[in-house]
Amino acid sequence: MNMNKRSFLKAGGASIAALSVSTSAFASSTKESQSNSQVLKDITKDVAGITSAEREARIIKAQQLMQQMNISALIIEPGAAMDYFSGIQWWRSERLTALVIPQQGKVAVVCPFFEEPSIQESLAIDGDIRVWQEHESPFERIKQILADRGISLTKGTIGFENSVRYFVQHGVMSLLSTLQHVSAEPVTRGCRIIKSHHELQLMHKANEVTLLAYSEVYSKLEVGMTSAQVKSLMSNAQAKLGGKGAWNMALIDQASAFPHGSKKKHLIKEGSIVLMDCGCNVHGYQSDISRTFVMGEPTKRQRDVWQTVRTGQKIAFEQAQIGNAAGTVDDAVRKYYQAQGFGPDYKLPGLSHRTGHGIGMEGHESVNFVHGEQEKLTAGMCFSNEPGIYIPGEFGVRLEDCIYMTDKGPQWFTIPPDSLDSPLGKLAKLA
């Protein structure tokens, strides 16, 4: 970006990307002292969260998969999967709270006695809550739930969601030693990997929030700023726009050559690279966008690397076709990069991480755009597309926009920028 453009954006109080994305995100202040400025406002009020009926349908689908796989019940701890099926948003501690989904019948929640009122508040489905006192075993409650649902306690299989802690699995299986335990991933992923139109709407809105926040920050970048100051601007902007759980990364100059940054302090100066990787959630669904700016007039080197990354992103998009193995997306990008003198493979200077990852309620979900991934691309899958290039001792460039698969191929949530002179991009219309 050049300084003349940035000065114009400041004077006008809005960025080019903001104008192209959504004029509804800004409201003129009535205060005379702010009459020439624009104020960010919440843009998420026009989208509703996942309904109880949708969660009930998810449980039915999970139970159908369990029947096909001969899994008697699922055990799920707090996290995205628990929220996905039940609406319960909780945390993990030494006191077990768990969701039990039987192969048939009503789901149940096990929790400490004193947490029941709070759990009941967010439980969005028809299920019963079984409490345990401080001197009692929560695993006995799980055993009783299975018995009450007619599940055999002498033979069968219990599925544990992949993030369930060892002490939970051990505690359950010590009481059900004649049963087998397996990963619940085929069931939980089988439900979560294909997003509904409503889920896509929520992700689309989250991406709109993040892109608009970028436009706000872009117009306010100044020589002398630290990465902490840039992150604070981004966090505040996403929050004002209605994004929840905002996370932000701002890497300056040499730090941008490390995909996840450096603890060393860097200040923005004339000619600095500023690489940002940021996101938030709307009703639990995530955005993930990366942008790379230059303070002042970019050098030829900066322009060339930025454009190479943009071409890599385009190649990834074009390779992400229905029926293709996810790993071929990564392979296609690396083939191009190697032809440009980067790599090979994960070697630096070049692309040291996968080209993309699955995304939904969690920022990182399966499946990944990574070499060797054989999962076929299917309508409803969502991914980040982020093939950066990192040059140790100099700088790094990453452009990241998320895509979703349709029957006709990939679609952008946000359309990437095509030039370092206009480095924001714009919101895509949801298909």
DSSP 141-168: HHHHHHHHTT--SSS-EEEE-TT--HHH
Whether residue 26 is predicted with pLDDT greater than 80 in this model: the reply is no
DSSP per residue, 202-264: HHHHHHHHHHHHHHHHHTT--TT-BHHHHHHHHHHHHHHTT-EEEEEEEEEGGGGGSTT--SS
Beta bridge partners of 289: 278
Give CA separation, 159 vs 7, 96, 126, 132, 205, in Å: 58, 17, 21, 22, 34
pLDDT of residue 36: 29
Tokens 């996101």 sit on residue: 279
Q: For residue 174, how far is the Cα from the chain centroid?
A: 36
Can you give the pLDDT at residue 153?
A: 97
Q: Taking the CB of residue 170, how many other CB atoms lie within 10 A of it? A: 11
Residue range 121-140: mean pLDDT, rounded: 97
| DSSP-assigned letters across all residues of 62-97 | HHHHHHHHT--EEEE-TTHHHHHHH-------SS--
Q: What is the pLDDT of residue 265?
A: 86
pLDDT tens per residue, range 340-387: 999 999 999 999 999 999 999 999 999 999 999 999 999 999 999 999
**CB neighbourhood size of 24 (10 A):** 11
Tokens 């739930």 — which residue?
Answer: 145
Percent above pLDDT 90 for the chain? 89
- Over residues 75-122, the pLDDT tens digits come to 999 999 999 999 999 999 999 999 999 999 999 999 999 999 999 999
pLDDT at 343: 97
Ramachandran bin of 334, using left for φ above 0, alpha for ψ from -120 to 50, beta for the remaining angles: alpha
pTM surpassing 0.75? yes
pLDDT 10s digits, 43-82 = 999 999 999 999 999 999 999 999 999 999 999 999 999 9
Task: Name the residue type at position 72.
Answer: S
